[in-house]
Amino acid sequence: MRILEAESYEKMSAIAAGIIGGQVLLKPDCVLGLATGSSPIGTYEELVKSCKAGVLDFSQVRTVNLDEYCGLFPESPQSYRWFMDHHLFDHVNIRKENTFLPNGTAPDIGAEAKRYEKLIDSLGGIDLQLLGIGHNGHIGFNEPTDSFPRYVHQVDLTESTIRANSRLFDRIEDVPKKAITMGIGTIMKAARILLIAGEDKKDIIQRAMYGEITPAVPASVLQLHRDVTVITCKK
């Protein structure tokens, strides 16, 4: 595991975008696993700049996102589909039909989970997975629990995640209580993993990267992956 400490959020974003951009240059039709949240916004801004400058070409890139809220339609500004369109897809030359997220409004979420897991495999697996981390150590929406979930599945969000994510909703009651997420096994199958964490995540990064490997701190499983880069930032 490589752990880099950037001087600032801007530098962390530039380094992360450099790693993702390198992946796209080396394999133009790569499969990128993408994340939402405040952490990757700066990274996406840098990728947009590089694409507009003609340095990066997303025309053959395929993307799969980690997770989606249950019950939110893609048009909802709080949905992760909206987030991805708004922060990345609408501003680069990616083909929308090559961008995938789990469908949080599928009538049968169990069947949707199976479909999404198969879809990732059918694309040839994830070349590089970008991750953020929750204050409780969640990755994607894999909340602390007593075993590592293997496949894409539905989760009940914890109170702390609902509270943390309520900043993006008008009222805390509007935050969905359930989500559909890649499992820990799905994430661990990615060839390379890149985790970015703001300075407010110092404590959980310390526990996850140097502490006991336990499903009570889901990100701790990354210690077992053979190619993980973690970028933190000082401020």
> Which residues participate in catalysis according to the annotation?
67, 136, 138, 143
Q: How many CA atoms lie within 13 A of 198 on its CB side?
A: 12
Q: Which stretch binds ligand GLP (CB under 6 A): 6-14, 55-63, 129-137, 170-178?
A: 129-137
Is residue 61 within 8 Å of residue 89, measured between CB atoms?
A: no
**Per-position x/- string for 58-87, each x denoting binding to ligand GLP as judged by CB under 6 A, each - no binding:** --------xx--------------------
171 Cβ contact list (under 8 Å, min separation 6): none
Q: Which of residues 36-55 bind ligand GLP (CB under 6 A)?
A: 36-39
Q: Which is nearer to ligand GLP, 27 or 177 (CB)?
A: 177
- Does position 133 interact with ligand GLP (CB under 6 A)? The reply is yes
Question: To the nearest whole angstrom, how small is the minimum distance from the Cβ of residue 66 to ligand GLP?
Answer: 5
Q: Quick one: 219 exposed, middle or buried, by C-beta within 10 A (0-12, 13-18, 19+)?
A: buried
Question: To the nearest whole angstrom, how small is the minimum distance from the Cβ of residue 60 to ligand GLP?
Answer: 25
- Does position 6 interact with ligand GLP (CB under 6 A)? The reply is no
**Per-position x/- string for 89-128, each x denoting binding to ligand GLP as judged by CB under 6 A, each - no binding:** ----------------------------------------
Q: Where are the alpha helices (DSSP H) in 27-158?
A: 41-52, 80-87, 109-122
Q: What would you report as the CA-atom Rg of the chain, rounded to the nearest whole angstrom?
A: 16
Nearest to 101 by CA among 59, 73, 133: 73
**Sign of the CA dihedral 102, 84, 43, 46?**
positive
- Does position 159 interact with ligand GLP (CB under 6 A)? The reply is no
Question: To the nearest whole angstrom, how small is the minimum distance from the Cβ of residue 130 to ligand GLP?
Answer: 9
Tokens 């929750």 -> residue: 134
In the complex, the residues that contact ligand GLP under the rule CB under 6 A are 35-39, 66-67, 132-134, 140-141, 161, 165
